[in-house]
Amino acid sequence: MATNRKVDRRTIISEKLIRDAFFECLNEKGTLEEVFVKDICKLAGLNRSTFYKHYKNCPDLLEQLANEESQEMKDIFSGSEELFSRENAVKMAAVLERNADLNTAYANGLIGDGLENKIMDAIREICLSSWKKPLTKSKKKKAEMISSAAAAAFVELLIINPGKYTVKDTFALLSGMLESAM
């Protein structure tokens, strides 16, 4: 969703129709390069001006979706005392469910590494920001390494292999990584 504008019911509905049609086209065509705005609009039952009101093009749509998912993840963890708590696991499961089409397209190789990079950067940033205070200078390098590993594990367990591991199991693993850093 674009920022700095009033979000009304029509905007929400239009964006949902566009996104659903985008993923349907992506699954049908197989690559982002083969998905065109005209195909999305035809499938969504909207005119192209509606699409362009919300997005510049298909890569912009994909970029906004990835940004929204990574921001939702950051929002869950910001201000949280215990990063990988049960409460955060439940919230994260909801984010992953809401973004299932995006994550599935990524896992199936239909879109590039942009999503993985955004999510890994978000998780790494979250881990590092929360671990900085309790770590001494000598352990900061270790925290950087562990936060990178935690981010990679998160992406692997929950996005590349959805359903193979539960969010709770993933958070238990990440919590263990945090404890080993201390």
Contact 44, 17 (CB under 8 A): yes
**CATH code: domain of residue 45:** 1.10.10
pLDDT, one tens digit for every residue, the chain (182 residues): 444 456 789 999 999 999 999 999 999 998 889 999 999 999 999 999 999 999 999 999 988 998 898 888 888 877 677 767 778 778 888 888 888 888 888 877 787 777 777 777 777 777 767 666 555 555 666 667 766 777 777 777 667 666 676 777 777 777 776 666 55
User: Do 15 and 85 belong to one domain?
Assistant: no
Range of the domain at 65: 60-181
User: Do 118 and 171 belong to one domain?
Assistant: yes
The secondary structure of residue 18, as a DSSP letter, is H
**Distance, CA of 147 to CA of 62 (rounded, Å):** 26
Q: List the structure tokens of 119.
A: 């999510």
**Distance, CA of 174 to CA of 154 (rounded, Å):** 8
Query: Among 110, 108, 84, which Cα is nearest to 159's?
Result: 108
Which one-letter amino acid corresponds to residue 152?
A
Query: Hey, is 162 helix, strand or coil?
Result: strand
* pLDDT per residue as tens digits for the range 46-79: 999 999 999 999 999 988 998 898 888 888 877 6
**Distance, CA of 153 to CA of 148 (rounded, Å):** 9
Q: List the structure tokens of 48.
A: 């192209």
User: Do 47 and 79 belong to one domain?
Assistant: no
User: Do 18 and 101 belong to one domain?
Assistant: no
User: Do 119 and 174 belong to one domain?
Assistant: yes
